[in-house]
Amino acid sequence: MYRDICGACIGGSEESRREALEQIVKSAKSKHQNKQLLAFISESVRLNVLQARMGNLLNLMRIVKTLVNSTSIPPDYHLFDIILSCITCCVGEYAFKDTSNEDLHWQVREFSSMQLFNICEKYEPHCKYLTDFILDEIDQTFKSWLDCPVGQTSISRLAGIYGILFCFKKFGFKRLHQFVFPRMPKLCEHLNANLEGRYIITFKRCDTLAVLNEIKLKAVFNKVLGYMMRALAVPLMEYRYMRLLPVSKGAFNVDYGRMGNFLYMNNDEYEDKQKRELKYEKGIKKLELQDSY
């Protein structure tokens, strides 16, 4: 039965998905069935992450949300198994295969992060140090990300840092202060490699795959950069005030390199810059097409 429920939730029929989620709520008292369903979800998450099936992952996280909101999951290994599945969706190093499911990719990371937060709110009174366990797991991923050589940032690794930052932000300023901001110089050292021309799109006709990878990498980097400016720039400034660190543009450039210009820049300036870059790229593409005739 739980296999049918998951199949309906993952399938393309919205009506079947709604009926399956209602069935989960109705059978909330069946702990045995819920355990089987949780085990099946965990295995499905691992499989769909490997195959980068974003729609399936998002629907699996919807099942998790329904279970968390409507049932009482025993605080045993089943709960921790589903937590690890959410962490995988949130911070795992996987990327979308094509631009058509790019939005779904970010939704999966954001939605799974929200489920981790909801799980902590519901089960923290019954399972001591649950929040610390979850954040420590994410922090280990963050540390391994920072320990990799600078300049070897793949699309999947760059997408993973978005999930890490989003999750820490979801848990509040205290967690940003604890896990992210002290390591911001190291994080910016990695991101600065993307700003130094290493991944500039060249549009070489001889290697279409390389061009597509460069386009995808730049799109992911812009997503990470935009989120950092929109969600982390102001808390970062507050953090520096609290630590009695200078908050001038020059100080940002010293501590964060070229990323300091973006973290200090307000969002309106960034959007104007993005529009100018988009016009420039369209102009380059147009010239390339003209040259091909």
Reported as a pLDDT band with limits 50, 70 and 90, residue 79 is confident
Residue 132: predicted pLDDT: 93
* pTM: predicted TM-score of the whole model, two decimal places: 0.80
Percent of the chain as helix, strand, coil, to the nearest 5: 80, 0, 20
Contact between 179 and 139 under an 8 Å Cβ cutoff? The reply is yes
Cα→Cα distances 239→109, 178, 196, Å:
25, 10, 27
Burial label for 174, CB within 10 Å (0-12, 13-18, 19+), is exposed
User: pLDDT tens digits, residue range 93-126?
Assistant: 887 666 666 888 899 999 999 999 999 988 887 7
Q: For residues 178 and 243, what is the distance between their CA atoms, to the nearest angstrom?
A: 12
Percent of the chain with pLDDT over 90: 31
Rg (CA), the chain: 21
CA distances from 170 to 41, 59, 115, 180 (A): 23, 21, 10, 12
Residue with tokens 């499905």: 44
pLDDT of residue 84 exceeding 60, the answer is: yes
Task: For 56-69, write each residue's pLDDT tens digit.
Answer: 888 888 888 877 77
